[in-house]
Amino acid sequence: MKKFRIGILGAGRGLCIAQNLMLIDDCEVVALCENNEERARWGFKEFGFTNAGKELPVFKDFDEFLEQDLDAVVIANYFHEHTPFAIKCFRKNIHVFCECISNSTLAEGVDLIRAYEKSNSIFMLAENYPQMIFNREMKRVCDGGSLGKILYAEGEYNHPAQPSDKEFTKGFCYFPEHWRHYLPRTYYVTHSLAPIMWATGATPKRVSAQAIFEPFTDKASARQVGDRAAIITTFNDDGSVFKFTGCGGFGAHSNSYRICGTNGQVENLRGMGDKVMLRYNSWSIPEGKEETNLYEPEWNDKDEEFIKQSGHGGGDYIVARMFIECLKENRQPEFPYDIYSAINMSSVAILGHRSVLNGGKPYDIPDYHLEETRKQLENDNDSPFYYSDGREPTIPCCSHPDYRVTDEQMNGYLEFIKD
């Protein structure tokens, strides 16, 4: 059988994904698109990536890159600039494996879905956190029905970064207008939201959010967001409620999730590795279970060796495998990896920040299935980011709109990244 030919857009995260794709027999990674030569060299060195002993051919121009007889493209460029590249793939009926988020404005969501619906492309969101072992176990429990009707779920992606970490800053925030410096705390949302959507099957329909403002005071910083976290709540299509963060920067590093039903609850435990706590009410304990069950789940997967050596708790390999399975079977991915779910999560991110800027005001999540809705949003291009094509922010990135880093912090940052 002919192998699927995969191209990679973005040398950083993209080559990390490529490592996992190369473990799958049915595909080969054949080209890299990266317009920053230094970034490409860094990526090859960081991930030790070669194809049959040779470095991948590198293209600066995306259109030229797409002429390389590609079946699919991994979209892993800047966080907020995925949409135009995905659309170019759709126009050539090339399949798309897209890093999170799928679109950074509501209008981009319209452009993305319209182009997708005219194509024969498969689109899958490259969201890896649902496939961590404890999240897979929580979905298994939910699917088993022992929790009863699901009423509530929590998701917390808490990833504090040490401001004095020069290696991180130079590798991931390497110029003043970089998206990470302008990232509102609601935007990096899929690591906290996707796992609870996947486990429960619920889709957000209304969102509100509040931010926690506590600026960093280090002497070398270009971070224009003074918020440490956003606490987001959604009302969902099945009547349940979610509470979750975007990317939080408070407390200790953790990825934690909790799902509550009418009969009991399941959660992973902060600071306790992969352990899961499954608890029932005393009057609703299923046969063969205790009221309190603390255990470490098992993979029970034929590719456990590859899973354990891949990043993000094994999720990197599993989602790469899921994508290739979609290509082999010529089908779209299941919820919430499909394009409509991806745009829904992007809408939660975008409108969650608007809620922050408007004192927690709730916003309805648009239904992108409806052309009537699309017409209302097709010119909604508000964004807190700088873009590679010269566009500048149109809305504040921080809950305190007048907040800026000091000249001393910016000058310190510029010196920090110089060598």
Predicted pLDDT at 238: 98
Same domain, yes or no: 66 and 157: no
In a domain, 255, yes or no: yes
Task: Assess whether pLDDT exceeds 60 at residue 223.
Answer: yes
In a domain, 418, yes or no: no
Give the total number of structural domains in the chain: 2
Same domain, yes or no: 231 and 352: yes
pLDDT in tens, 234-270: 999 999 999 999 999 999 988 999 999 999 999 999 9
pLDDT in tens, 140-165: 999 999 999 999 999 999 988 777 78
In a domain, 149, yes or no: yes
* Amino acid found at 23: L
In a domain, 407, yes or no: no
Same domain, yes or no: 142 and 227: yes
pLDDT in tens, 386-409: 999 999 999 999 999 999 999 999
CATH of the domain at 259: 3.30.360.10
Percent of the chain with pLDDT over 90: 85
Sign of the torsion angle spanned by Cα atoms 128, 131, 133, 138: positive
pLDDT in tens, 295-337: 999 999 999 999 999 988 899 999 999 999 999 999 999 999 9
Predicted pLDDT at 39: 83
Same domain, yes or no: 67 and 164: no
In a domain, 143, yes or no: yes
In a domain, 391, yes or no: no
Task: Assess whether pLDDT exceeds 90 at residue 363.
Answer: yes
Same domain, yes or no: 11 and 104: yes
In a domain, 385, yes or no: no
Give backbone dihedrals phi and psi of 408, rounded to 5 degrees, phi first: -65, -45
Q: Is 392 exposed, middle or buried (0-12, 13-18, 19+ CB in 10 A)?
A: exposed
- DSSP H/E element including 21: helix 12-21
Average predicted confidence (pLDDT) for the chain? 95
Same domain, yes or no: 153 and 262: yes
Same domain, yes or no: 221 and 232: yes
CATH of the domain at 42: 3.40.50.720
Q: Give the domain range for residue 255.
A: 129-305+340-377
* pLDDT band per the 50, 70, 90 thresholds, residue 44: confident
Same domain, yes or no: 216 and 109: no
Same domain, yes or no: 173 and 319: no
Same domain, yes or no: 243 and 191: yes
pTM of the model: 0.96
Cα separation of 224 and 182, whole Å? 6
Helix, strand, coil percent values for the chain (each to nearest 5): 35, 20, 45
Predicted pLDDT at 47: 75
Question: Span 219-234, mean pLDDT?
Answer: 96
Task: Assess whether pLDDT exceeds 80 at residue 48.
Answer: no
Same domain, yes or no: 117 and 203: no
In a domain, 388, yes or no: no
Strands 204-213 and 227-236, sheet pairing: antiparallel
